Amino acid sequence: MSDRQALNLVKWLTLGCIGFGIFQNATVRGEDRLYPAQGNVVRGTIKEMTRDRVVIDNNGRTQNFATQDISRIVFEGEPQSLTRAKELVANKQMEQAVSEIKKVDPASISSENAKKEYDYYLWSIEGRMALAGSGDANASVKGLLAYAKDNPQSFHFYEMTELLGQLAVSLGNFDRAAAYFAALAKAPAKDVQLRGRFMEAKALLIQDKFDEAKGAFSQVLAASSDSAGIARIQKLAQVGLARVELGLGNADAALEVLYKMVREGDAADGELFAAIYNAQGACLMAKEEFDGAVLAFLHTDLLYPGQADSHAEALYHLASLWTKLGEPQRAVDAKSRLNSLYAGSVWAKK
Amino acid sequence: MRYPTSEFITQNLKSRLHFTVLRLDFRKAPWDGTTDTIFRSRANGLRCSEKNTAKQQNKNAGALFLKQVRNPMQIRPNPITMSGVSRTSLQKCETRRILMRLLMCKSTINFGKPNVCLVRCILCLAGALLFVSSSRGEEPVARFLERLRQQKLFDLAVVYLDRSAAAGLLNPTTLQNLELEKIILRQESVAASKSGKDREARAQQVEQDLQKFLSSNPNHARRTEAKLKLADIWLTRAQELLDKGDDQKQSAREYFQKSMDLFGASVTELRPILESMQGAKVDPNDREKLALRERYQEEYRQAEILQAYCAMRLGDTFASGSSDARAWLTKAKELFSGIIKKTTDRREAGRHVLCLLYRGQTLVKLGENDEALDSFIRVADITEGGAFRTWVVQATTEIVKLLSNPKQAKFEAAIERGDRLLKTAQANERFQPEWIDLQFVVAEAKLGWASKIAKEPNGDLRSKTIRSEVRSAIQALARRPGPQQDRARSFLADLGVEVKDASGDKPIEIKNFADGMRAIREKLDESRDFTLQVDVLQTRRAEADEEERANIDAELVRVRSDMDSIFDVALDLTQRTIAQYSAEDSREDLLQARYYLAFILVKLERYWDAAAVADFTCRSSLGQELGQKAGGLALFSYRKLLESVGPERKANFRSTIESLSSFLLEQWPAAEESRVAVTNLLQLAVESQQWEDVERYLDMIPKDAPDHGRIARELGYMRWSQYAVAVDAKKKSGEELGDADRAVLAQAQRLLELGLSELKTETLDERSIQAAVALARIYLNADRIADAQSILSRENIGPLSVARSRRELINDQRTLSEIFRLNMRISVLLASRNGTPLTVDAVQTLVHEMNSAAEPGQFVNDLVLLSQELIDQFKQGGNVSTQTSLLELFPELMDQATQASGSIELLDWIGKSALNVVELAKGNPTLAPKTDRLASVAESAIKKMLMVAESNPGVLTDQRKEQLSILQSQAARNRGNYADAVNLLTEVVRKNNSNLLAQLELARTYQLWGMSAKSQEYLKAALLGAEYNAATRTSVVWGWGRISQRLASQPKFQDYFLESRLNLAECRYQIAMLESEAAAKSKTMETAFEDVRKTVLSFPNLESKEWETKFDLLLRKIQRELRREEIGLREFVKT
């Protein structure tokens, strides 16, 4: 053996021992991992979990986290597939999350917390897939309600309530949706409260209750903006308000607001910009400026196809608008993409 | 020959080649323009593990490049590099892309000097992040334009730029370049244009636009770019003219010259600018200036190359070998050589190689073959992928040509070189233009070689083998749709594949049956090439413009004629072959020959003969598979004949087809031909409306055949639709349904029951769901409610189950809505039958389901439809208990719906529908007492609607609110609550005194109230009005008297007028009847009599029988009270 080979062997052995040691620590010592929405992961033992806060003990030092500031928690003894599914959900990679969570054998989970997490993620992923047009909304609602019944103080409470509200809207059950969104108003965090109000306003808009929606959106906009989260909701609310203006027959006024938002906004914010362009498209459609409307919806289709709901809406409108521009083949293409990508969405069912 | 456009040189050489070149480690071995260096560099710079990645990246880049080379006009300018201003969003986008490239290739660049690369990446990353962060607050113009371009939406992209500019979404730099950007987009649209005329018109427009741009923007930063584009257009035009033929050479020459001059002028213009920006003259920190210099350098080089290219092409516009041609070609050679010497920097590797290729081509034209070969070999020996690979193929093609020309005759070397490269071709590469060219020249070289060795002793066999190889290679090209097909076909024709004596100048001799069979097969094989050509031509025809279509049509006629000739020869051959059949020959072969005969006759469209031969072959086949195929041919022929015969002969054909179908089914029950046979029969029966035969034909299909149930469902649904149409028509015309209609319904039911009994989960489709809905409706109409429910709710396959769990199977929104409506009807009726009213939850679920199935705005329509269906059910009358149940359940259902909903539309529907049913029920003495509850529901619904409206100001207009008050008053009146009704209505007329409907309702209500309460006071109010205002001398409530005065001169309100006159008299009659004194009664009764008389005399025809009857009845009552003869209206006739 040459000196170099010997040196390499020593290096590998050293690395192997370190790796093995880490692995040993992970299994023997056992710890939960809390991933904040911003900042580094905190390891320790979860001491308390309520719908409002989570307390983690890190070597005798306790840290409190408001639930809306938590991205996810990985519990000791959790199956790896569940951990990966959680990470994928945090990255909004739902399809991969579905296949990952399917790998989990629930019977094999021994930890009580992990079992609960499995239940929650199983149905919340299904629900998010349903919102994107390919999951079973009814099954998700059923599953989440069962989870909520068993875990009324879950730290997922507000996130789950919002999801239930969105699912109720997608199922056309607006009264129930309103109840869910109203529950968010009881959250201690202001941005959660506002998000609930925003969602409620959106639901009212879907029902063409323009005056009520206007009131709700205005409330969101009137709130003091002391965090980035709130500022973002307010921008989305501004788009909602433009939609209300359109509903009330003021397409020009709505367009003016939307153009201003484009000039001043950050095009990297896909959710916001897809919403803006769809609203622009709707305004231009109302004004019978079909080429402009196509361009607006094409923004969403070509630049923000990752925004499932907005993309489905854009495809739905493009399917009819292309025909008006004498492009039947493109219309067929839009329709078929809508049906294949978002078969379960409200847009595909329209 | 394709030429490089300015964009091609700018983009593909700059970014893609630069990227490619980056992956070659030129830092270790400075680029000296030799391929050896590249090999060395590659060997040094790439690790084995990275080679595959690099190859893959090269392949992708190459694919992109080829795409553009094939459509030179599509090669688009990149506004990013052209703009010259680093802060535009366009540039930010490009910077990110460059970064991505760098990051992608980081594993392959210079592992020997990681620090340099790392620093470079970090610098780029920092720069890119800077741009990303500064991308806030802008319309993503560049990205969106890029995507529009990818989608070939050039015209829309122009619209987009205009709209964005108008909306103030563009930044100043983009605005400054707006005009040029639009011109560039239009230029890109030229290649995407589908018709030749449009393409030409667009090209002309772009040319004009560019000239206008240049004249009106003498100092524009992108002026040179515009010039290059204009020169490109002229170059394209020159190229096209040259391709048209020798007579266009003069025009082509002019365009080449113009183009060359413009490229030259650009070089002259840029030279001093670049000199002033050389080296340290530009501040290294001035990024904008640096970028500008880089752009000018690129434009300068591309202008130089294109200038040289134009010179080369100018040589082509003169006779080959002429002094003019030689002069231009010599100039081109010098120019290319000059550029080759200058482009030694690694960043210009692509340009260097391209110029080598073009110099080689120029040298060939000059006859300097040895030098040319040297140039080509320098290109062909490059093993790098991407754009280089295309040039390698082109250079190899030239080498093969040079080596295999008659003077050189180095066929083996040429073939070896060509084949070596062809072996490396990927499947998707083989049919790209450059590769196709190579295949053809290699094939030609092989043929040359074959001819050469055929002259050698014993070389004949080898020569044949080579020719055979060539034939199969070119046949592969001929089979693939594409522009190469013509060339391949012509090549094959020269090779002797195509039969030129197809018309049979000389009949093919056959010695015996077996020999004949071989000859037939060969002939049929030949025919396949023609079939392929016809297919190809038809495909091309579908995509061609009018001009091309005419040419294709002519070609089709020719090819079909050739094909017919082949089949004629084949027919003759087959007939002679069959005649040679002897006992020694195989009987199977005879069957085969007959089958061929039938097939050829079909191809020649001799359907009578074909049918006879095929039918016979089928029946005499003793169950062999070929007989089954012959049956298919016979059916096809019969079907064709059927299209051409009159209706009287169709019946005969049907019996023939029926007989053949029975035979096919008996012999090959599972065969496709048998299924087609019966389907044909069914189709014929349906077409000729012979429905009595349909079920018989259906019985011919084996019960276990997968299609049996499906066809039964289709037919049943068809019959049901016919029945529904007939019912609708008769309903409109007021006719009764006849026996024929009932027979249609009965057959629909039978077929649907049969079809649905065979339905399984795996055969479930939308039509089966529609069929089940139809059957449920049939059962429901026949009062078989339980059966209807059973069919609707079948587990997994019932429409309701599917609508709930697999809604994606139902695409037709109407079907979905109908399912839930049916479900609601059935639920209501079943609840009525069972005496178990629906629970709140059940009603809510039903309403929710209907809502979820409906399109936006459709829900209310669905409810209206349901209402109509329930009312229809109610009107059917027959079963009093059902009617009573409906009347009892209707309010329950509606009350629940009222509670459950806050939708104005739904509440409106409830109110109206409930009142509608109340009105109907009032006409039936048994049902009339049971209407209170329903009227109350109507009233609640309207009240709730008004409440909703109050909390949503502006939702209802004043007019709509008045209508609601009227509806509410009707509901109150129907419940006997006259005071409330009068109050509601009076409130309306106080605000809007001229609301005629409210005034009418008031008069009606007062009248009913008076009659009900036996009150003269209310009757007088109905007659004369109420709430008299002394100041205005009018009453707020008009009463019948004033209503009739107001309407007397308004023909459009004729019915209301007659109603007011009738009720005027009726009220007086009622008042008279309440008089206690005989004289007063008689006097008032006389007045009533006069009211009728005046009306009848003024309107002798009373507009309709209905009014005549009403007045007649009233008059008879009055006559009775006046103790006159009860002769009704005849009294006035007598008068």
Mean pLDDT over B176-198 rounds to 84
Indicate if the pLDDT at residue B1019 is higher than 90.
Answer: yes
Interface membership of B140 toward A (CB under 8 Å): yes
Q: Do B132 and A294 touch (CB under 8 A)?
A: no
User: What string of DSSP letters covers B1080-1123?
Assistant: HHHHHHHHHHHHHHHHHHHSTT-SSHHHHHHHHHHHHHHHHHTT
In the block, residue with structure tokens 């109905």: B1022
Kindly report the nearest CA distance between residue B797 and chain A, in angstroms.
Answer: 19
* Number of other residues whose CB lies within 10 A of the CB of residue A256: 15
How many helices (H) and strands (E) would you count in chain A? 16, 5
B496 phi and psi, to 5 degrees?
A: 100, 15
In A, minimum Cα distance to B89 occurs at: A267
| Residues of chain A found within 8 Å of residue B820, distances taken between Cβ atoms | none
Name the residue with higher pLDDT: B123 or B1132.
B1132
| Residues of chain B found within 8 Å of residue A265, distances taken between Cβ atoms | 136-137
Indicate if the pLDDT at residue B88 is higher than 50.
Answer: no
Indicate if the pLDDT at residue B200 is higher than 80.
Answer: yes
What is the rounded distance in angstroms from the CA atom of residue A44 to the CA atom of residue A67? 17
Name the residue with higher pLDDT: B599 or B1029.
B599
What pLDDT band is residue B47 in, cutting at 50, 70 and 90? Answer: very low
Interface membership of B132 toward A (CB under 8 Å): yes
Q: Do B137 and A303 touch (CB under 8 A)?
A: no
What pLDDT band is residue B809 in, cutting at 50, 70 and 90? Answer: confident
Indicate if the pLDDT at residue B159 is higher than 90.
Answer: yes
Interface membership of B809 toward A (CB under 8 Å): no
CA angle, residues B943, B948, B954, in degrees to nearest 5: 120
Indicate if the pLDDT at residue B504 is higher than 50.
Answer: no
Q: What is the largest CA-CA distance in chain A?
A: 85
The confidence score (pLDDT) of residue B154 equals: 92
Q: Do B852 and A171 touch (CB under 8 A)?
A: yes
What pLDDT band is residue B379 in, cutting at 50, 70 and 90? Answer: very high
| Residues of chain A found within 8 Å of residue B169, distances taken between Cβ atoms | 259, 262-263
Q: What is the pLDDT of residues B293-334, one digit of tens each?
A: 888 888 898 899 999 999 999 999 998 889 999 999 999 999
The confidence score (pLDDT) of residue B954 equals: 74
Mean pLDDT over B930-940 rounds to 83
Highest mean pLDDT among A131-135, B488-492, B740-744: B740-744
Structure tokens at A281: 């498209």
The confidence score (pLDDT) of residue B940 equals: 84
Q: What is the largest CA-CA distance in chain B?
A: 146
The confidence score (pLDDT) of residue B862 equals: 65
Interface membership of A11 toward B (CB under 8 Å): no
Q: In chain A, which among 296-315 make CB contacts under 8 A with chain B? A: 298-299, 302-303
* Number of other residues whose CB lies within 10 A of the CB of residue A157: 20
The beta-carbon neighbor of A295 closest among B135, B138, B160 is: B160
A56 phi and psi, to 5 degrees?
A: -125, 140
Interface membership of B143 toward A (CB under 8 Å): yes
Mutation target to probe the B interface, by most B beta carbons within 10 A, among A232, A235, A256, A299 is A299
Lowest mean pLDDT among B101-110, B273-282, B948-957, B1061-1070: B101-110
| Residues of chain A found within 8 Å of residue B848, distances taken between Cβ atoms | 172-173
User: What string of DSSP letters covers B1000-1034?
Assistant: HHHHHHHHHHHHHHT-HHHHHHHHH-EEEETTTTE
In the block, residue with structure tokens 């909602």: A240
- Residues listed for chain A: 350
Interface membership of A215 toward B (CB under 8 Å): no
Interface membership of A209 toward B (CB under 8 Å): yes
Phi-psi region of B812 (alpha: psi -120 to 50; beta: other; left: phi over 0): beta
Cα→Cα distances B1078→B1074, B1075, B1121, Å:
10, 7, 11
What is the rounded distance in angstroms from the CA atom of residue B849 to the CA atom of residue B821? 9
Highest mean pLDDT among A220-224, B825-829, B876-880: A220-224
With H, G, I as helix, E, B as strand and everything else as coil, classify residue B50. helix
Q: Do A172 and B848 touch (CB under 8 A)?
A: yes
Interface membership of A265 toward B (CB under 8 Å): yes
Interface membership of A226 toward B (CB under 8 Å): no
A66 phi and psi, to 5 degrees?
A: -70, 140
CB burial of residue B579 (10 Å; 0-12, 13-18, 19+): exposed
What is the rounded distance in angstroms from the CA atom of residue A61 to the CA atom of residue B24? 55
| Residues of chain A found within 8 Å of residue B135, distances taken between Cβ atoms | 266-268
| Residues of chain A found within 8 Å of residue B151, distances taken between Cβ atoms | 302
CB burial of residue B426 (10 Å; 0-12, 13-18, 19+): exposed
Interface membership of B198 toward A (CB under 8 Å): no
Mutation target to probe the A interface, by most A beta carbons within 10 A, among B810, B955, B956, B957 is B955
Report chain A's terminal Cα–Cα distance, integer Å: 73
The beta-carbon neighbor of A172 closest among B153, B852, B954 is: B852
Kindly report the nearest CA distance between residue A344 and chain B, in angstroms.
Answer: 7
The confidence score (pLDDT) of residue B1100 equals: 67
Name the residue with higher pLDDT: B919 or B214.
B214
Helix (H) or strand (E) holding A35: strand A32-36
Q: What is the pLDDT of residues B113-129, one digit of tens each?
A: 333 333 233 223 333 33
Interface membership of A3 toward B (CB under 8 Å): no
What crossing angle do the helices spanning B739-757 and B766-781 adopt, rounded to 10°? 130
Kindly report the nearest CA distance between residue A304 and chain B, in angstroms.
Answer: 10
Q: What is the pLDDT of residues B1055-1091, one digit of tens each?
A: 888 899 999 999 999 999 998 888 889 999 999 999 9
What is the rounded distance in angstroms from the CA atom of residue B617 to the CA atom of residue B597? 10
Note every long-range contact of B248-255, with CB atoms under 8 Å and residues 24 or more positions apart, other chains counting.
B249/B317, B249/B318, B250/B317, B252/B317, B253/B314, B253/B317, B253/B318
What is the rounded distance in angstroms from the CA atom of residue B1118 to the CA atom of residue B1073? 10
Q: Which of B959, B890, B877, B888 is nearest to B923 (CA)?
A: B877
Kindly report the nearest CA distance between residue A303 and chain B, in angstroms.
Answer: 7
Indicate if the pLDDT at residue B51 is higher than 80.
Answer: no
The beta-carbon neighbor of B140 closest among A303, A343, A350 is: A303
What count of CB pairs under 8 Å joins A to B? Answer: 67
The confidence score (pLDDT) of residue B991 equals: 87
Lowest mean pLDDT among A322-331, B386-395, B762-771, B889-898: B889-898
What is the rounded distance in angstroms from the CA atom of residue B777 to the CA atom of residue B785? 9
Indicate if the pLDDT at residue B89 is higher than 50.
Answer: no
Lowest mean pLDDT among B603-607, B894-898, B927-931: B894-898
Mutation target to probe the B interface, by most B beta carbons within 10 A, among A167, A263, A339 is A263
The confidence score (pLDDT) of residue A258 equals: 95
| Residues of chain B found within 8 Å of residue A299, distances taken between Cβ atoms | 140, 144
Cα→Cα distances B442→B361, B419, B1013, Å:
18, 7, 112
Asked if residues B1065 and B1114 have their Cβ atoms less than 8 Å apart, the reply is yes
CB burial of residue A4 (10 Å; 0-12, 13-18, 19+): exposed
DSSP B109: S
Q: Which of A260, A315, A256 is nearest to A283 (CA)?
A: A256
The confidence score (pLDDT) of residue B72 equals: 32
Interface membership of B857 toward A (CB under 8 Å): no
DSSP B9: I
Side-chain half-sphere exposure of B1020, counting CA atoms within 13 A: 9
Percent of chain B scored above 90 by pLDDT? 20
The beta-carbon neighbor of A291 closest among B132, B156, B953 is: B156
Interface membership of A179 toward B (CB under 8 Å): no
Q: pLDDT tens string for chain A (350 positions)? A: 444 444 343 344 333 333 333 333 333 335 889 999 888 889 899 999 999 999 999 888 889 999 988 999 999 888 988 998 998 888 878 888 888 899 899 888 888 899 999 999 999 999 999 888 778 889 999 999 999 999 999 999 999 999 999 999 888 888 889 889 988 988 888 889 999 999 999 889 988 999 999 999 999 999 887 788 889 899 999 999 999 999 999 999 999 999 999 988 888 888 999 999 999 999 999 999 999 999 999 999 999 988 888 999 999 999 999 988 888 778 888 888 888 888 777 888 77
Interface membership of B464 toward A (CB under 8 Å): no
Interface membership of A223 toward B (CB under 8 Å): no
The confidence score (pLDDT) of residue B326 equals: 93
Interface membership of A326 toward B (CB under 8 Å): no
Three-class secondary structure assignment of B658-690 = HHHHHHHHHHCCCCHHHHHHHHHHHHHHHHCCC
What is the rounded distance in angstroms from the CA atom of residue B1048 to the CA atom of residue B1057? 6
Indicate if the pLDDT at residue B28 is higher than 50.
Answer: no
What is the rounded distance in angstroms from the CA atom of residue B1005 to the CA atom of residue B1067? 12
The confidence score (pLDDT) of residue B133 equals: 33
The confidence score (pLDDT) of residue B8 equals: 44
Kindly report the nearest CA distance between residue B129 and chain A, in angstroms.
Answer: 13
The confidence score (pLDDT) of residue B350 equals: 87
Mutation target to probe the B interface, by most B beta carbons within 10 A, among A136, A142, A262 is A262
Average pLDDT, chain B: 77
Mutation target to probe the A interface, by most A beta carbons within 10 A, among B93, B96, B135, B139 is B139
With H, G, I as helix, E, B as strand and everything else as coil, classify residue B579. helix
The beta-carbon neighbor of B136 closest among A266, A291, A303 is: A266
In A, minimum Cα distance to B902 occurs at: A175
Interface membership of A249 toward B (CB under 8 Å): no
In sequence order, the β-bridge partners of residue A43 are: A33
With H, G, I as helix, E, B as strand and everything else as coil, classify residue A267. coil
Asked if residues B228 and B266 have their Cβ atoms less than 8 Å apart, the reply is yes
Cα→Cα distances A249→A92, A237, A242, A287, B255, Å:
36, 18, 11, 10, 56
Q: Do B148 and A298 touch (CB under 8 A)?
A: yes
Highest mean pLDDT among B287-296, B676-685, B984-993: B984-993
The confidence score (pLDDT) of residue B56 equals: 41
Q: Pairing state of beta strands A61-66 and A70-74?
A: unpaired
Mean pLDDT over B786-811 rounds to 86
Mutation target to probe the A interface, by most A beta carbons within 10 A, among B841, B852, B904 is B852
**Pure H helices in B3-88:** 6-7, 17-23, 35-45, 48-70, 79-83
Lowest mean pLDDT among A95-109, B102-116, B254-268, B441-455: B102-116
Q: Do A211 and B953 touch (CB under 8 A)?
A: yes
What crossing angle do the helices spanning B287-316 and B223-244 adopt, rounded to 10°? 20
| Residues of chain A found within 8 Å of residue B955, distances taken between Cβ atoms | 211
| Residues of chain A found within 8 Å of residue B952, distances taken between Cβ atoms | 209, 211-212
Mean pLDDT over B678-705 rounds to 79
